[in-house]
Structure 1
Amino acid sequence: MPSDQKFVDFVIHQIKNAGEISAKKMFGEYGVYSDGKLFGLICDNRLFIKPTESGREFIGNIVEAPPYKGAKPSFLIEDKIEDGEWLSQLVRISLKELPDPKPKK
């Protein structure tokens, strides 16, 4: 089941304190970016954050799952999705370890 725009807007609003947040439609689901850097996916109305060591330490009791069939596991954020400050902090922490986007040709 594809994600609906209402859920995507909610997630973007929750992470508003982690840079310029945007979501781009990808294969019927959404990639989530901060200042142009991909850090997560929204699939089936669930938020997945790319795994990092700092993110793992911050979350503590993590739940990992693949966002779609054949994908590598990511952090599945369910319980804390309503906590915008916590979620923004997780994104800021994770972004430090994620590679910068490759320049477009």
Structure 2
Amino acid sequence: MASTLEFVTYVTDQLNGAGTITFKRMFGEYGLYCDQLFFGTICNDQLFIKITPDVEKWMPECPKAPPYEGAKDCFLIEDLDDREKLGAIVRMTCEHLPKPKPKKIK
């Protein structure tokens, strides 16, 4: 079951406190970016965020699951109503992810 654009829009609105949130359609689902840094996906109308040590320490009870078959486990974020907590999760995650390399100009 593919995710609905309505769900993706709701999630990105909820995450706006973390930075500039954008999404890109990928393999029939959606990739999520904060300030151009890929941090998670939306698959089957569920939010998945990459696992980082600080978030894991802060939320040890958070369920983990792969967003699609063959993928690495990610945090499965089930409570989408707490904007402040969602923003904190995304900011903490992005602090520990490698920054995108600048694109080469030809």
| TM-score bracket for this pair, using the shorter chain length | over 0.9
Cα drift, residue 82 of structure 1: 1.1
Task: Output the CA distance in 2 between the equivalents of 1:31 and 1:101.
Answer: 15
Q: Which residue of 2 aligns with 1:39?
A: 39
- In the alignment, structure 1 segments of 5+ residues that lack a partner are none
TM-score, normalization: structure 2? 0.94
TM-score, normalization: structure 1? 0.95
Q: What is the identity percentage for the equivalent residue pairs of Structure 1 and Structure 2? A: 48
Q: Which residue of 1 aligns with 2:3?
A: 3
Task: Output the CA distance in 1 between the equivalents of 2:100 and 2:58.
Answer: 24
What CA RMSD, in Å, does the superposition of the two structures yield over aligned residues? Answer: 0.9
Q: Secondary structure at the match of 1:48?
A: strand
Structure 1 consecutive aligned stretches of length 4 or more whose deviation exceeds 4 Å: none
Larger radius of gyration: 2
- In the alignment, structure 2 segments of 5+ residues that lack a partner are none
Task: Output the CA distance in 1 between the equivalents of 2:50 and 2:99.
Answer: 13
Q: How many residues align?
A: 104
Q: Is this contact kept in 2: 1:16–1:88, CA < 8 A? A: yes
